[in-house]
Amino acid sequence: MKMNQLLERITFHPDIFSGKPIIRGHRIAVEHILDMLAAGDDSATILAGYPWLEAEDIQACLVYASRLARHERIDLFPSALAS
């Protein structure tokens, strides 16, 4: 999956975490996944804890962080509230 396609998994909704970037409209912030990775959790552990997540979601968080570190513009798309 290409980086731009991965970034489509990162959305925002003003009613979820005050509009912070989230994964596919769900109530989990990108920063939460990044914090878990920074703390040493691996993808398998994260996926086990959040069974609705997909490996591409974690990869999308890393792409998002990489682009932020390079100060690139990232246009997020609003999402509907996840069910």
Indicate the pTM of the whole model. 0.83
Domains of the chain: 3-78 (1.10.10.10)
CA distances 83 to 52, 69, 73, Å, are: 12, 32, 29
Do 60 and 7 touch, CB atoms closer than 8 A? Answer: yes
CA distances 44 to 19, 47, 50, 52, Å, are: 27, 5, 10, 13
First and final C-alpha spacing in the chain: 25
Do 5 and 65 touch, CB atoms closer than 8 A? Answer: no
Highest mean pLDDT among 16-20, 56-60, 75-79: 56-60
d(CA 63, CA 53): 16
Q: Is the pLDDT score of 24 beyond 80?
A: yes
Encode pLDDT of 60-72 as tens digits. 999 999 998 888 6
Instruction: Average the pLDDT over 17-35 and give the result.
Output: 94
